Chain A
Amino acid sequence: MPPELFLDLYSPPCRAIYIFALKNGIPFQLRPVELGRGEHLKPEFLKVNPLGKVPALRDGDFLLAESVAILLYLSRKYQTAEHWYPPELQARARVDEYLAWQHTAVQLPATNVYLCKSLLPHFSGQPVDQERLDRLMGKLRPALQHLDQEVLAAKPFLATEQVSLADLMAFTELMQPTAVGCDLFRDWPRLAAWRARVEAALGPELVQEAHSLVLQPRDPRDAQRDPKLAQELVHRVLERLG
């Protein structure tokens, strides 16, 4: 039985896993989890991942959370091509270094930009808080600068000379605010060139398919469908954004 992948393609780490599995011919059963319907908060999903987040994996009796752990698990179990997670000591360390750093340096601020620009207005019915958005974009800037000016100055991809798990995670993460109109690549030419390189390496059709959901405008009827849930989601986002 192929493993089950619990994903919502609105989520960048879910897209990374989706792309990785398809690109490497890894068989899986897709179990969609709609974050917008609060499915990640329900008891049924919490049995799969008590941390209440996507992505999650179930392989027989084995349950696994955390996108980085899932990608490493899949790469080992299905013995994917070496460039994804190179065996050489220093090359592997570079991938590990990015995968560790990105949680707080990239994922956290990029997600906050997305929440402010898209999710919050969508579920609250309020217009985008521009001042807050500018502040949140400012928090993401140091990471973009570091990637563009330091990391990519030395090599074509984030960790090594070839596309790796680091590029995959970074790509889907940086596409998130970009997909809803905050073009992160505009001020950073090396980063823009890197993005094109990664897209070519992953396959433009696969990238497009994985991002089709986040690239579409959201259905304005969502918030009215379940006002109590909308309120709950708004509350959680506001608490997170501080």
Chain B
Amino acid sequence: MGLELYLDLLSASCRAVYIFVKKNSIPFDFQFVDLLKGHHHSKEYIEINPLKKLPSLKDGRFILSESVAILFYLCRKYSTPSHWYPPDLHTRARVDEFMAWQHTAIQLPMSRILWIKMLIPRITGEEVPAEKTEQMLTEVRTNMQLFEEKFLQDKMFITGDHISLADLVALVEMMQPMGGNYNVFLNSSRLAEWRMRVELAIGSGLFWEAHDRLMKLAEWDCSTLDPMVKEKICELLQKFR
């Protein structure tokens, strides 16, 4: 059995791993775990990852979760080109710094926008209170500004002249609100240019292939939503009250 990746490309973390393995021609089996159908809660998947989260990697008997850990593992095992995770002490630290910061500063808020703007209203039929929405959007704007001023600055990519894991992870996460037609790149031409640069470095074909399911989310018939998943979402809405 070769390398197996348990993915749903609706998830930004999954897209980062998917794009990385395809870009580096790493052979793998795509094991689709449908988040919208609640398959991450299935008995089969819980055996892979008791935390019920995506992505997961299975390499023989070795099972690994957390996209950042998976990306580092793949870099090392398949000796991918060094620009992805540069060996220079300072440059590597820059990647580590972004990879650490992004969990709470980028991934979480970007994911929340999709929930607030699209998923919750679509599924429950109710809007999230405007105050909460505004608070969320302000946090995103602040963090995008920090990203631009501290991590990107006037460079082509986060580490300098070449794309790294940091750009890949940053971009797939910043794409998440697009699933709800919310574009975080509108306010900054510098960020919009970086976005295009990263897309081109990955390859537009691969990039948009990876984002297809997200972009089609608006067409999704939510009456097919697994009732358990719907219940969890209604619970989520309570949090915003």
Which residues of A does B touch, CB under 8 Å?
50-51, 62, 64-69, 72-73, 76-77, 89-90, 92-94, 96-97, 99-101, 103-104, 108, 146, 150, 239, 242
| Contact partners of A100 in chain B: CB under 8 A | 66-69, 99, 103
B64: nearest residue on chain A (CB-CB)? A93
The dominant DSSP class at the B interface is helix
Task: Judge whether B3 is part of the interface by a CB distance below 8 angstroms.
Answer: no
| Contact partners of A76 in chain B: CB under 8 A | 89, 92
Q: Is the CB of A146 within 8 A of B65?
A: no
Q: Is the CB of B149 within 8 A of A50?
A: yes
Q: Is the CB of B104 within 8 A of A93?
A: no
Q: Is the CB of B100 within 8 A of A69?
A: yes
How many residues on B have C-beta within 8 angstroms of the other chain's C-beta atoms? 32
Within 70-90 of B, Cβ neighbours of A (below 8 Å) are at 70, 72-73, 76-77, 89-90
> A51-B150, A66-B96, A72-B96 known; A92 and B76 CB under 8 Å?
yes
Which residues of B does A touch, CB under 8 Å?
50-51, 62, 64-70, 72-73, 76-77, 89-90, 92-93, 96-97, 99-101, 103-105, 108, 135, 146, 149-150, 239
In the complex, how many residue pairs between chain A and chain B have their CB atoms under 8 Å apart?
Answer: 80
A105: nearest residue on chain B (CB-CB)? B51
Q: Is the CB of A93 within 8 A of B96?
A: no
Cβ-neighbour of A101 out of B66, B73, B99, B105 (below 8 A): B66
| Contact partners of B73 in chain A: CB under 8 A | 89, 92-93, 96
The dominant DSSP class at the A interface is helix
A89 to B70, CA, bound (A): 11
Q: Is the CB of B108 within 8 A of A65?
A: no
B71: nearest residue on chain A (CB-CB)? A96
Q: Is the CB of A97 within 8 A of B69?
A: yes
> A69-B100, A103-B104 known; A50 and B150 CB under 8 Å?
yes
Known pairs A93-B62, A93-B73 / 8 extra A-B pairs, C-beta < 8 Å: A72-B96, A73-B89, A93-B70, A99-B69, A100-B67, A100-B69, A100-B103, A104-B108
